Amino acid sequence: MAARLSARLPAMLTDIERLVTCESPSTDRAALAASTEVVAELGTRLLGVAPDRVEAEGRVHLRWRLGEGPAKVLLLGHHDTVWPLGSLASHPYSVRDGVLRGPGCVDMKAGLVLALYAVHHLHAPAGVTLLITCDEELGSPTSRALIEKEAAGCVAALVLEAAAAGGALKTERKGVSRYRVRAHGRAAHAGLEPERGTNATIELAHQVLALAALNAPGRGTTVTPTLLSAGSSENTVPAAGEVAVDVRVRDTAEQQRVDTAVHALRPVLPGARLEILGGPNRPPLTRDATAALFERATRVADRLGLPAPTAAAVGGGSDGNFTAGIGVPTLDGLGAVGGGAHADDEHVLVAELAGRAALLAGLIEELVRP
């Protein structure tokens, strides 16, 4: 398997180039439509069958259900990126000294291509569903329900996000909650009669400190007030303001604790009112959801003569959080090895591509076996 996939490396690189040079920012519908066609075409060629196009709120997600009978393994990927149109000009596609670069290469276009080659080389891909969405970088607002539906009943969800540092598989991902805390006060002239106003900026200052106090680094919980805005002019007591809050947790109990506390926030200034929007977005991907699959991947690597995978815990969420959240064993970080996701130095290590495809193929083969 590993040798056969190594022989396909030049073809894999051609396909990765094709995908990377078709820019696909999550927010640009026209660009995504073009990228969707490239993914559909590559997939049709390598899997021998055209995808289902599943539409959700004006977005099209691609799904291949292979073979008859219920799916056992869900392969999960996305082709949208955080890179705006025109990024290719400043970050052109290139392969030099074994390092491949270009917008979205490690997150996760190379991962998509290696997965297509992995499935292509399976003897019997029956029982495999491949789902490639286009809004992951936005938090998967239109694909979450589809992801959960396709994962339900599977023995495993395998996520094609990039490996962690050193090629590690991701066995723990923090859960994510997002909030907007709005303060409503009362406007007044800051010079003539400020005492008649209720200052939303001051109210928010109290709330920002109350939010920061919810941090529990010892338990892996971070509560980070981020975007902040208030007021309408320099000489007006602000009537309204808002702060965004990013919450990361290692377990659901912490996600609950923070959620309850955020909703229990009360205004401090007389006459002020608070409005709390948002809540848990992605549940945590915990070790108990991943341990058995990780062991399995280790055995597969051993059998195929590949280096033993290592495990890593990461702060960022992925669609794997959703599949783990509904109780499906999930393993993440099965995509490309490299680094710099969402950053200037985004890159893929070419020498690792075939081995990762072989590991994925071997793992799928074991999981779909009756």
Q: Which residues bind Zn ion (CB under 5 A)?
A: 107-108, 161
Supply the minimum distance, in Å, between the C-beta of residue 223 and Zn ion.
24
For residue 108, the minimal CB distance to Zn ion (Å) is 5
Per DSSP, which regions of 202-359 are E strands? Answer: 222-230, 236-237, 240-249, 273-282, 311-314, 330-331, 338-339, 347-349
Taking the least distance from each CB to Zn ion, the nearer of 259 and 346 is: 346
CA distance 173 to 180: 23
Instruction: Supply the minimum distance, in Å, between the C-beta of residue 271 and Zn ion.
Output: 45
Give the C-alpha separation, 216 to 226, whole Å: 17
Closest by Cα among 317, 333, 289 to 176: 317
Give CA–CA dist 83/344, Å, rounded: 10
Query: Residue 26 or 129: which CB sits closer to Zn ion?
Result: 26
Distance CA 21, CA 43 (A): 17
Closer residue to Zn ion, CB minimum distance, 135 or 150: 135
Shortest Å distance, C-beta 335 to Zn ion: 8
Which of residues 1 and 151 has its CB atom nearest to Zn ion in the complex? 151
Of 23 and 161, which CB lies nearer to Zn ion in the complex structure? 161
State in angstroms the smallest separation of the CB of 161 from Zn ion.
Answer: 5
Q: Determine the Cα angle at 6 with ends 4 and 9, to 5°.
A: 120
Considering only CA atoms, which of 240, 213, 214 is closest in space to residue 229? 240
Residue nearest to Zn ion as judged by C-beta position: 107
Minimum CB distance to Zn ion smaller for 108 or for 169: 108
- Cα–Cα distance between 201 and 353 in angstroms, integer? 51
Q: Give me the least distance between CB of 268 and Zn ion, in Å please.
A: 40
Tokens at 160, concatenated: 């094609």
Task: Closer to Zn ion by CB, 146 or 272: give it.
Answer: 146
Return the residue matching tokens 């290139």.
Answer: 94
Distance CA 248, CA 315 (A): 7
**How buried is 18 (Cβ within 10 angstroms: 0-12 exposed, 13-18 middle, 19+ buried)?**
middle
Least separation in angstroms between CB 45 and Zn ion: 23
| CA-CA-CA-CA dihedral for 110, 114, 119, 120, to nearest 10 | 110
Rounded CA separation 285/282 (Å)? 9
Least gap, CB of 78 to Zn ion (angstroms):
6
**Least gap, CB of 28 to Zn ion (angstroms):** 17
Name the residue among 143, 86, 120 with its Cα closest to residue 15: 120
Cβ proximity to Zn ion: between 107 and 352 the closer is: 107
Is 112 or 363 the residue whose CB approaches Zn ion more closely?
A: 112
DSSP 329: -
Sign of CA dihedral 252, 256, 257, 258: positive
